[in-house]
Amino acid sequence: MTSPRIFLFHATLVAMEPVHIAMQKVWPQAQAVNILDESLSLDRAREPDLISEDLIRRFVALGRQAVTGGADGILITCSAFGPAIRQLADEVSIPVLMPNEAMFRAALSLGKKIGMVATFAPAIRTMEDEFREFAQEVGCSERLETVLAEGAIESLCQGDAADHNRRVAEAATGLSGIDAVMLAHFSTTCAAEAVRGVVDIPVLTAPETAVERMRTLVLGEV
């Protein structure tokens, strides 16, 4: 049987390593193929509220490139492009997975009061909207509290993972009365142990749950 070909769609370099580690751990039989366009992330940072139609078109065009390249599924690793991901999913016939759908599902199984630590401010609004929409779809009432770890993503992009992790953990301590903590982006996965060191509730990361969900969608597993 031919190995499933999964295209990993990145808008920032720091999201690549976490999902490749997850692919090797969770689904090593799959063939992982990268598409990276950092200009999407740079331009999204200039649009702190709604994503522009131009960015959506560029995003969808790269998704079509993956289909042409024989993709069996597309896993998006950047959390700031919700409307573009939905449009792409509507236009292609293969599974297209939002980066945090599976993590949202896992979080809601742990309780109704969920915290989220983000490092990329433009992603917060779309992620909060997606979380609430997903909670409504599965019939859950929920309360989501989000905090921004200021300066963390900048530190990580400069190669200072220790400072990134410290900032994320510090931000997590500002959450209270919650049942679980979600680390918003694939790139924040490296801070998981630091966060677990300062909170006594479950800490969820996106990559492994996303790969598990993609495997289910592509192979039809339950």
pLDDT over 70 for what percent of the chain? Answer: 99
Q: Which backbone phi and psi does 33 adopt, to 5 degrees? A: -125, 130
pLDDT at 136 (0 to 100): 86
CA atoms of 192 and 207, how far apart (whole Å): 12
Q: What is the CATH number of the domain that holds 161?
A: 3.40.50.1860
Are 179 and 126 members of one domain?
yes
What's the rounded mean pLDDT across residues 6-34? 95
Are 105 and 202 members of one domain?
yes
Q: Give pTM, 2 decimals.
A: 0.83
What's the rounded mean pLDDT across residues 73-92? 93
Are 156 and 167 members of one domain?
yes
**pLDDT of 46 strictly over 80:** yes
Are 43 and 25 members of one domain?
yes
pLDDT at 161 (0 to 100): 96
Locate 21 and state its tokens.
């580690």
Q: Which domain holds residue 152?
A: 101-206
Q: What separation in angstroms does the CA of 54 have from each of 24, 61, 161? A: 34, 11, 33
Are 139 and 173 members of one domain?
yes
Are 126 and 212 members of one domain?
no
* pLDDT confidence tier of residue 207, bands split at 50, 70 and 90: very high
Are 125 and 63 members of one domain?
no
Are 84 and 156 members of one domain?
no
CA atoms of 82 and 125, how far apart (whole Å): 10
Strands 180-183 and 203-204: parallel
How many domains are there within the chain?
2
Are 202 and 105 members of one domain?
yes
Q: What is the mean pLDDT of the chain?
A: 93
**pLDDT of 173 strictly over 60:** yes
- Chain segment 119-155, per-residue pLDDT in tens: 999 889 888 988 998 888 877 877 899 999 999 999 9
Are 143 and 214 members of one domain?
no
Are 135 and 168 members of one domain?
yes
Are 74 and 119 members of one domain?
no
* pLDDT confidence tier of residue 221, bands split at 50, 70 and 90: low
